[in-house]
Amino acid sequence: MTEPLTPQTPPQARRDATEHTEHGVVRADPYAWLRHAGSPDVVAHLTAERTFYDFSVTHLHSLIETLRTEMVARVAPTEVSPRRHRVAFSYYTEHPTGRDYARLLREKFRPDGGLMTESSDVTSVTDGNRAEVLLDLNELVDDSGYLSMGVESVSPDERLLAWSVDRAGDEVYALRFRDLARGEDLADLIPRTYYGGAWSADSQWFFYTVHDEAYRPFQVWRHRIGTPATDDVLVLVEPDDRFELGVRGTRSGDLVVVWSESNSTSECWVVDAHDVTRGPWSVGGRRHGVRYHAEHRRTPAGGDLLVVTNDDAVEFRLMSAPVPQGADQDSSAWREARAEDPDDRLERVDAFEDGVVLALRSGGDHILRVLPHDDLGGPGRDVRSRFPGGEVYLDDTPRFDASAVLVVDEAYTEPAVWSEVDLASGAVTDVHRREAPGHDPARYVTERRMFPSADGTPVPATVVRHQDTPLDGSAPALVYGYGSYEAVFEPFWDPALPSLLDRGAVFVFAHIRGGGELGRHWYLDGKLAHKQHTFDDQIAVADGLAREGLVDPDRIATRGLSAGGLLQGAVFSQRPDRWRAVVAEVPFVDVVTTMFDETTPLTATEWEEWGDPRVREEFDWMLAYSPYDNLPPVGSRPDLLVTGAVNDPRVMVREPAKWVAALRASDPEWSPRCLFRVETGAGAHVGPSGRFGHLAYEAEVYAWLLDRLGIAEVTPR
């Protein structure tokens, strides 16, 4: 157990004699006992860590409250989304004044559209059109205070709502069905479901996924409305532990798509949404290393599938395929529909009655390309962000026959602007803006910089600062990074960020290898045997900022979450001298141990991302950088803030707990500068839920960072 100490003293976890011998290598694991998260000893230890954290930030309470107040002030008291039009109704969400969670509402469809009223009074009438509240998440929050939405899907006949919530943060969702005319839930209840879902065309069936004990979604079921869940029909099972299943409906309403994917390979099937007993039939089979996904397009000949695939194209290409009829088909039935620039990463395709929208990345920028059905190979019309460092992306446009699609454009300091893009003409019309009271985007500057990595590869970084903050080597900086899974962190407007920038800090997002900012090749060059590139790139951005005299070399902090937390652990160990402070949120830091343990959630599905430690060469890759197995030298460590959550199913709380315990024991003098903020109650992988709950968390992290960077007392500009 943990040695009983006062709140002013860092906890000291007991050490035991556990060892692992793999490939002839002996690894000590003295804190293996922390894997038993519910045991009294572990609960006591985590409670002690949280107590020490709470005590250690007591002097920051006033600053935390100041920051929280600033952040909340940039959020409109009542936030209303733009309408999403269906056939009979238009749907939107509204955050009522002062409330954490949204309400889902609808009103009778008006073809003239227009901006949504900002009123929070649901009994108000807009042009004689009364809004209905379909679901109020604020009414669903229990004593835990945590709530996360899983499924929110209106049936094709607009009579039912499939919805699911998680109240613990463990990503287990209870699925229900609400009669929208009566405003009441049906008796149907499916207690343990996962993300995703799809309706049959007649609104009588709903497809959903469930996960196994390792949190791998491995089955798709269909449920008939009005019947017990015990009568549900199993549609598909994925037996390969490396693959995860998903399900969705096509915008046309004609098909249900089921897909299974690993980090390198995928397969899609279709089910006839008009007769759910027809299918699933494979669209193109499964070949190792080939990924694809499919979208349905109606044509005069009856319809086909548009397929985005990396088959013979590293950065993916667009192909067409017939809809399988009565049997599986392989990719020999596919035909190339469009030849893209091989340097552009084609990400997805969306089909509508009047055209097709491609989403692609070119030179690090996200682009939407609108094409007519009869000229898929043509140049089309491109929609790009109007903001420096911004991103434009397709928002939910449910109607297949929509003449215009809804797109969103935003940046770190630019609140979102929603526009309608006409599919025929390409004309862009702004229809909605997110309010940010008191925020003036003109006060901030965003630019792109390039810094050479250890192997000479130029690494892009987005640099954001207040207009009065010079890049002359005097300002502190926060460098954020992720760099895994080909993920791209879109530069969403962040009401917390100005509180950092207004105090003279520079925010830098490092677009490092392992992410997808520069395409599939950028991702492939930062995974498996090349994972060290991810860490080198993060260090290179910080070194470049210092070397070029842009920021204060002695006041650079780094931050990241989950796989980005692994990044923080690695750069903390490899270059402790580079950082003034490190924030490692829910960090994946016990890499080798976790990748050997197939009972841990998501392990088998991750072997194609990190490696399979049962193979000696791949074991050596991971052992070389695993933070738990590579602690930094004593006496050289920067300040460290670590987070974790007992309910987190993605990074088990034992990983940050073991890492912190090992760091404390190896350097007792430094130990008080290491804080572990652990959520011992309800809480999720990405932190507290709710728009204000999340900002309260950000205020804590920012207060600690500002204090470590020496700008806690700076008056905001």
Closest CA to 198 of 296, 121, 53, 325: 296
3-state SS, one letter per residue, for 116-158: CCCCCCCCCEECCEECEEEEEHHHCCCCCCCCEEEEEEECCCC
What is the per-residue pLDDT for 690?
87
Model pLDDT, residue 3? 59
State the average pLDDT over residues 137-144. Answer: 90
The predicted structure's pLDDT at residue 354: 94
Direct distance between the N- and C-terminal alpha carbons of the chain, in angstroms, rounded to an integer: 48
267-295, pLDDT tens digit by residue? 999 999 999 999 999 999 999 999 999 99
Residues 497-517 have pLDDT tens digits of 999 999 999 999 999 999 999
Stretch 470-485: mean pLDDT: 99
Which of 638, 674, 673, 681 lies closest to 659 in space, CA to CA?
Answer: 674
pLDDT band at 124 (very low <50, low <70, confident <90, very high): very low
According to the model, what pLDDT value does residue 125 have? 36
Structural domains of the chain sorted by starting position, each given as residue range(s) with its CATH number in brackets: 77-139 (no CATH), 143-249 (2.120.10.30), 439-655+682-708 (3.40.50.1820)
- pLDDT at residue 111, rounded to an integer: 72
* Paired strand residues for 148: 166
Separation of alpha carbons 139 and 361, rounded Å: 40
Indicate whether 303 pLDDT > 80: yes
DSSP string, 635-688: T-PPEEEEEEETT-SSS-THHHHHHHHHHHHH-TTTGGGEEEEEE-SS-BTTB-
Q: What is the pLDDT of residues 15-68, one digit of tens each?
A: 999 999 999 999 999 999 999 988 999 999 999 999 999 999 999 999 999 999
Q: pLDDT tens digits, residue range 64-102?
A: 999 999 999 999 999 999 999 999 999 999 999 989 999
Cβ-contact 437, 73 below 8 angstroms? yes
Neighbour count for residue 3 (Cβ, 10 Å): 11
Where in the sequence numbering do the catalytic residues fall? 562, 648, 685
Helix axes 40-56, 654-666, angle to 10 degrees: 70
> Which has the minimum average pLDDT: 127-136, 166-175, 478-487?
127-136
- How much is the pLDDT for 2? 62
Residues in the chain, how many?
717
Q: How far is CA 279 from the centre of its chain?
A: 31
pLDDT at residue 62 in the model: 98
In this predicted model, what pLDDT tens digit does every residue of 312-356 receive, in sequence order?
Answer: 999 999 999 999 999 999 999 999 999 988 999 999 999 999 999
The answer to whether 357 and 350 have CB atoms below 8 angstroms apart is yes
Q: pLDDT at position 1, please?
A: 56
Residues linked to residue 223 through DSSP beta bridges, in sequence order: 206
pLDDT tens-place string over residues 201-238:
999 999 999 999 888 999 999 999 999 999 999 999 99
What is the structure's pLDDT at 424?
A: 94
Confidence of residue 143 (pLDDT cuts 50, 70, 90): confident
Residue 319 three-state SS: strand
Q: What is the pLDDT of residue 649?
A: 85
- Measuring CA to CA, how many Å separate 492 from each of 82, 350, 497? 17, 22, 11
Q: Quick one: how far is CA 258 from the chain centroid?
A: 21
Residue type at 190 in one-letter notation: I
Distance (Å, rounded) from C-alpha 245 to C-alpha 292?
14
Residue 555, φ and ψ in degrees, nearest 5? -135, 60
**pTM, to two decimals:** 0.94
The pLDDT assigned to 118 comes to 34
pLDDT tens for residues 434-466?
Answer: 999 999 999 999 999 999 999 999 999 999 999
In the structure encoding, which two tokens stand for residue 220, read together?
């798709």
pLDDT value at residue 685: 73
Residues 483 and 538: their CA atoms lie apart, in Å, by 9
Q: What is the mean pLDDT of the chain?
A: 95
Q: Is the pLDDT of residue 128 over 70?
A: no
Inform me whether the pLDDT recorded for 163 exceeds 70.
yes
pLDDT digits (tens, 9 = 90+) for 347-359: 999 999 999 999 9
